[in-house]
Amino acid sequence: MIQCKTSKAISGMGHSMKRKEDIRFIQGRGHYVDDIKLDGMLYMDITRSPYAYAKIKNIDISEAMKVPGVVAVITGKDLEKYNLHWMPTIMSDTQMVLPTDTVMYQAQEVAAVIATSRYAARDGREAVKVEYEPMQALVDPFKAMDPSSPVLRTDKPGKTDNHIWHWEAGDKAKTEKVFSEAAVVVKEQMHIPRIHVSSIETCGCVADYDKINNHLTMYMTTQAPHVLRTVFALVAGHVGLTEEKIRVVSPDIGGGFGGKVPVYPGYVIAIAVSFLVGKPVKWIEDRSENLQADSFARDYHITAEMAGTKEGKILATRFKVLADHGYTDAAANPSKYPAGLFSIATGSYDYGTAFVEADAVYTNKPPGGVAYRCSFRVTEAVHAIERMTDRYALEIGKDPAQLRMDNFIKKEDFPWHSPTGWIYDSGDYHAGLQKAMDVVGYADLRKEQVEKRAKGELMGIGISTFTEIVGAGPSKDFDILGIKMFDSAEIRVHPTGKAIARFGTKSQGQGHETTYAQIIAEELGIPAENIQVEEGDTDTAPYGLGTYASRSTPTAGAAAAVAARKLRDKARKIAAYLLEVSEDDLEWEPGKFFVKGAPEKVKTIQELVFAAYTNFPQGMEAGFEATHYYDPPNLTFPSGAYICVVDIDKETGGIHVRRFVAIDDCGHIINPMIVQGQVHGGLTQGIAPAMYEELIYDEAGNILNGTLMDYLVPTAVESPKWETGHVVTPSPHHPIGAKGVGESPTVGSPPAIANAIIDALSPFGITHLDIPITPFKVWKALKEKGAYG
C-alpha cells in the first residue's frame, strides 16, 4: 500500500488518478496527424524498391503524370538539384532521402508521387516505371564482415569494408585471465532477432511551407520534436529554412516505442515537396510500409560466456556482439555509446570483471537499431546475462533462484560500481526475488515439476532478475548530435491558481498529462486536475530531447519537481511578507504555508499565487513562473524479478504460459494505475520477441513476413494473466526518488520465458534456443535430441 502525502483532492504522488487524456481518447476525440486537413493540401505516396540491392537504370514518370489528380513525381535527381537527396541520421551516419542511382534495401523509397487525393497518389505510385539492374544482396552480417565481401557503402569515399564501428567496455586482460583459470565456463551463441515496433499509428506528417513568410510548420509523429527541428534545420538550412523558421508540432501519438525517434525519408521528402510546390503535403505510411521500411530494433548476434566456480560463484562474463545495422546506422543511441547501454550486461550480480565488445556492420536491410521500448540495447544485454545465469546454474546443477540469491549485489553495497563502469543508484534484489518466489509459490512448483518429469510431462520455471538503466542522461556523457541529454519543464501558474506546464518530452500514450500534473501537485499542492500539461510544440515548449528509453520520469519528471520547488521558494517569500514573519518561521504542508505553532496563521498556495500578481514584496519579480533544465547527476537503475511457468505439449511443441509474476522496482511511484498499465503493455511486448516476432529475410534480401498476416503481434488472446507487484528502493539522486518504468517489463520478460522453456526441455540436453521460441523450434529441438524415439 502506497502512502500518499497529499489528499485525493490534490492527487499528488501515489494516487491512482484516472488519466486526464483518456477523456478524449476513449471518446475518439484524440487529434492525430492524419486528422489534420489544411486548405489546398496535397497527398504524397512513395514508390518503393522491390529489390534489396540494385542499380536504377531509369525512372519513367510519364504514365504516373497522366493519372488524374497527380501533380508531380519527385525523384532523387530532383532533390539532388537542391542538395536535399541525403540526410544525416541521429548516429551521425548518412541516409538517402531518395536515391539517384542505387537502392540498398527492399522497400526503400525510390520516388514520391504528389496528388490531390490519397487515392490518386496511390494510383500514381503504381504507374511509376522503374528499370532496375539487380545486384547480389549482402544479407548475412557475418558474410558482410568478411574482407572479401563487396563494399556496400560506395558513397563513402575511401571505405574499403562494411564495418561501421567497434566498441568495448570492461577489462579485457583481467577477464581473459579469470576465464583461463575458472573451474566452470559456459558459452552460448545467441541471436536477438530483428523486430519491429508496430505501433497502432504508423508514421506520417503534414509539411506546411508558407512561401510568403518563409516558414515551415511540420505536424508529425515524433517522440523528439525539438531534436527533429534541429535536424531539419541542418538538412534544409542552406535553402533558407533555418531553425527559427521551423515549427514542429507533434499532436497525439498512437504509440511510439522508439520507432518515432528517427528521421524517415518520407518526412524530408514531404518538406521538400511543400517547399517546392508551396502547398501543404500530407504523407501517411500504410501498415506494410511501416513494417517493411521503418527502422527496426535488435538484430544482435551475441557470443555469451560466463565463468564461475563449481559451487556457484559467478567470476566473470564476456560478451561479443555483431550488430546488423542494415544499410545505415540510423539507431537512436547517445553519440558516445554506439552499442547503446549494452554494457549493463553484468546485470544484478556481484562479480569482479567483465569484457563486452561490439562490432557493427552494413547489410542490405532497412536501417535502424531503434531503442524499441528498450533503453538503448538493454533488452539484448539482459537477455544475454539472464540466459547465461540459467545456463551456468544448469551446468553445475544448482537451483537458478538460489544461484541468483547467492550472487546478487547486496542492498547495502549501493551505490554499486559495476565492472563495466556504471554506478547503480539503489536496489534490493534479494527482496524482489523473494517476493516473486512467494507470490508464485516457487518451492511447490519445483516439487510439481519433479512429479511431472517422472510422468514424462514438460513443465518449466524461468527466472529473470534484471537491472535496467534509464534516464539518459548526465550531460557529461550523453548527447545526441552533440546536444546534451537534459530535459526541461516550464510551469506558469495563473493569478487564479491554475497552471499550465510545458515539457520538452512527448507522450505517446504513457499518460504524461496526468503524471506530470501529479508531480507538480505534490510539490505545490495545486490540485493535479487544475494543472494543464502540454508537450510537443517547439514554438511553446522549452527545448528537450524527447521521450524514449524511459527517460521522461528521470529527466523531465525531475525538471517538473525542481521547477515547482523554485515556485514554492517564491511562495514562501510571499507568505513571509503577507504573514509578517521570517521565512524560517514558516512550515509547509501540501497546499499551504502556516506559522510554526500558530496553524491559524495560514496562506494557501492559491492566495500566494494571487499575491504574486497583486501584492508582492518590493523588489520581487512579479508573476509565478519557473523553468528548469534538468541535467541528471546519474542514470536511474530500475530492476525486476520475474518468474514464468510454462507447460509444453511434447507432441506438438505447443507452449502454454501458465503463470507470469512480475515484481518491479521503479523507486517511488507517481501513479500506481499507470505503472501497472505500463507493466502489462511491456510484458506483452516481451512475449512478442520471446515467442512470436521476428522479421525474416531470404538470401536476396526479400522480407518474408512483411505483413501482419505473417508477423504475429501478440494480442490479449496470446497474453497470459500478468501478476504484478513492487518493491520500492527510491533513487537517491532523483528529486522525487523515482526511476523509469516503461521499458523494464519488455527488457526483463523475454529471458524469463526463454529460461522457462529451456528449463522444461533441459532433461533432453537442450541448453539454449534462440528467441522467438516457436512450437516448431521446440518440436525440432526435441526431435534432434531423440525425444520421439
Between 18 and 650, whose beta carbon lies closer to ligand CDP?
18
| Count of positions on this chain that bind ligand CDP (CB under 6 A) | 23
State the nearest-atom distance from the C-beta of 14 to ligand CDP, in Å: 9
Between 331 and 608, whose beta carbon lies closer to ligand CDP?
331
Integer Cα distance of 398 and 750 in angstroms = 22
Between 204 and 511, whose beta carbon lies closer to ligand CDP?
511
Give the bridge partners for 487, in sequence order: 630
Verify binding: residue 741, ligand CDP, rule CB under 6 A: yes
The grid coordinates of residue 434 equal: 523473494
Q: Which of 75, 162, 465, 552 is close enough to bind ligand CDP by CB under 6 A?
A: 552
State the nearest-atom distance from the C-beta of 71 to ligand CDP, in Å: 40
Question: How many other C-beta atoms are found inside a 10 Å radius of the C-beta of residue 37?
Answer: 9
Q: Which of 460, 497, 511, 653 is close enough to bind ligand CDP by CB under 6 A?
A: 511
Instruction: Look at residues 29, 11, 15 and name the one whose alpha carbon lies nearest to residue 531.
Output: 11
Site string for ligand CDP, 665-694 (x = CB under 6 A): -xxxxxx--xx--x----------------
Angle between helices 775-784 and 744-761 (to 10 degrees): 30
State the nearest-atom distance from the C-beta of 330 to ligand CDP, in Å: 20
State the nearest-atom distance from the C-beta of 261 to ligand CDP, in Å: 12
Verify binding: residue 551, ligand CDP, rule CB under 6 A: yes
Q: Are 520 and 567 in contact (CB under 8 A)?
A: no
Between 452 and 565, whose beta carbon lies closer to ligand CDP?
565
Catalytic residue among 223, 510, 676, 685: 223
Between 328 and 746, whose beta carbon lies closer to ligand CDP?
746
Catalytic residue among 205, 374, 644, 666: 374
Verify binding: residue 510, ligand CDP, rule CB under 6 A: yes
Active site residue 203: no
Between 389 and 515, whose beta carbon lies closer to ligand CDP?
515
Q: Kindly list the strands in the beta sheet with 592-595, ordered across the sheet, starting from the edge strand earlier in the chain.
A: 586-589, 592-595, 598-604
Integer Cα distance of 328 and 137 in angstroms = 15
Verify binding: residue 742, ligand CDP, rule CB under 6 A: yes
Q: Which of 449, 547, 685, 755 is close enough to bind ligand CDP by CB under 6 A?
A: 547
Verify binding: residue 197, ligand CDP, rule CB under 6 A: no
Q: What is the 3-state secondary structure (H, E, C) of 157-204?
A: CCCCCCEEEEEEEECHHHHHHHHHHCCEEEEEEEEEEEECCCCCCCCE
Report DSSP state, residue 399: -
Active site residue 449: no
State the nearest-atom distance from the C-beta of 103 to ligand CDP, in Å: 34
Catalytic residue among 48, 229, 318, 373: 373
Render the burial of 8-21: b for 16+ CB within 10 Å, e for the rest. eebbbbbbbbebbb
Active site residue 678: no
Active site residue 513: no
Q: Which of 515, 634, 676, 684 is close enough to bind ligand CDP by CB under 6 A?
A: 515
Verify binding: residue 334, ligand CDP, rule CB under 6 A: no
**How many Cα atoms sit within 13 Å of 696 on the Cβ side?**
14
Q: Please classify residue 705 by burial: count the beta carbons closer than 10 Å to its beta carbon, then call 0-12 exposed, 13-18 middle and 19+ buried.
A: middle
Angle between helices 265-277 and 225-236 (to 10 degrees): 60
Between 232 and 337, whose beta carbon lies closer to ligand CDP?
337
The grid coordinates of residue 760 equal: 522444461
Verify binding: residue 636, ligand CDP, rule CB under 6 A: no
Angle at 348 between CA 343 and CA 350, to 5 degrees: 95
Amino acid at 609: V
Q: Which residue ranges make up the site for ligand CDP (CB under 6 A)? A: 510-512, 515, 547, 550-553, 666-671, 674-675, 678, 738-742
Cite the active site residues.
Answer: 223, 373-374, 743
